[in-house]
Structure 1
């Protein structure tokens, strides 16, 4: 019962983290910068993995998609690949978790379901690592440009999408570790009990199937031992 509750808690953590990670892809504010002036000229510049936009004080936004994938900066291409990989890993991890959890009726035997759940936990851990790497790489680029005195272009600050991605990564990693830890503990206890039973049975068999001479001696048969002066 306790193991089942642990699986349910881990499942809720990982699914919540995966939803947060997936929501960062269409989120607008990966990096944001404001140009303050009068009420009319105030504008907000923001950008994500797909486009860059500017919003004026009236709420009207003008966006420009990145023209070519091959002409993008290397870090944006890496971030795109890692985020898409994180979403895919989380999706397959959720399917494996539904199949392998003890509270479901599919997945086969108990040992098979345990292996599937461990694989699901590893998927969620990789999902969190991919998302964590993406957000950290993007944030490192923003901070390096912001604090670089020689960088003369417009400087940006960290957007809300990065904090959402970090939170989702933490939930996925924690939930995946809980999945793997619970299943590993179950495997170790099961193997210990099985090994103990096997060793006990083998010991009993060895005792019962000893050498015939030793058995005869145990049953009271006299041993053929003669002294030096037996026939004198």
Structure 2
């Protein structure tokens, strides 16, 4: 029962992390313009992986989508690919986890369920690593430009989407690891039970009701009494003499 509860908790944590990672992809505020050194702020610039926008003091926003995917910066392209990969891996991981949980009636035997649960844990871990890498790469670009004294363009700060992505990545990695450890305990228990049954059958097969050195043969053959038959034949010949 403890393994079942551990799998359920791991599934909830992993799925929550995957939902956070998926919500990070379309979130607007990946980077927000810095107000450091500005006395009067008339507009706020912010951007994500798909567009760049500006919001004026009245609250009206004007956005512009990135016109060309091939003309984008390589960092944004890499972050896009990593985040999309993280979403797909988390999706397949959630499906495998539902099939492999012990509380469900699909998936076959316990051994097959353990394998499916292991695949789900690996998918969640890879999903968390992809999302963590994407958010870290994007944040590294923002911080390197912010602390670079030679960078004269507008500087940005970390947006809320990055923190949500980091939290979701940690939950995915934690839940996937718990899934892998939960099936490890069940596999070791099943192996120990199989070895016990095999050893018990082997010991019972060698037990014999006969004492040592007097075991009964499997196919006993009747032994002929040669002495009696020879005497009978000799006596029969002497009768007719």
Please classify the TM superposition score into its range, dividing by the shorter chain length: 0.7 to 0.9
Aligned partner of residue 137 in structure 2, secondary structure = helix
Asked if 2 retains the 8 angstrom alpha-carbon contact of 1:145 and 1:155, the reply is yes
Alignment of 1:215 onto 2:213: yes
Unmatched segments (≥5 aa) in structure 1: 209-213, 218-232
Q: Is the 8 A contact 2:44 2:56 kept in 1?
A: yes
| Structure 2 Cα separation of the partners of residues 42 and 188 of structure 1 | 64
Taking the aligned partners of 1:198 and 1:44, their CA distance within structure 2 comes to: 72
SS of 1:157's partner is strand
Alignment of 1:16-31 (within 5 A): 16-31=16-31
Name the CA distance, whole Å, in 1 between partners of 2:148 and 2:154: 12
SS at match of 2:32: strand
Aligned match of 1:136: 136
1:58 paired with 2:55, answer: no
Deviation >6 Å, runs of 4+: none
Q: Work out whether residues 25 and 83 of structure 2, in 8 Å CA contact, stay in contact via their aligned partners in 1.
A: yes
Q: Secondary structure at the match of 2:118?
A: helix
SS at match of 1:184: helix
Q: What TM-score do you get using the length of structure 1 for normalisation?
A: 0.86
Aligned-pair CA distance for 1:34: 4.2
Matches within 5 A, 1:22-41: 22-35=22-35, 36-38=38-40
How much has 1:207 moved relative to structure 2?
6.0
Distance 1:143 1:179 in 2: 35
User: Contact 1:31–1:158 (CA<8 Å) still a contact in 2?
Assistant: yes
Number of corresponding residues: 214
TM-score, length basis structure 2: 0.83
Maintained 8 Å contact 1:34/1:43: no
Bigger Rg, structure 1 or 2: 2
**Following TM superposition, by how much is the alpha carbon of 1:216 offset from its aligned partner in structure 2, in angstroms?**
3.5
Partner of 2:64, secondary structure, is: strand
Contact 2:34 2:155 in 1 (8 A): no
- For residues 2-41 of structure 1, give each alpha carbon's deviation from its aligned partner in whole angstroms, at most 9, with x where no partner exists: 1111111111101110110000111010010145454xx5
What is the match of residue 99 of structure 1? Answer: 99
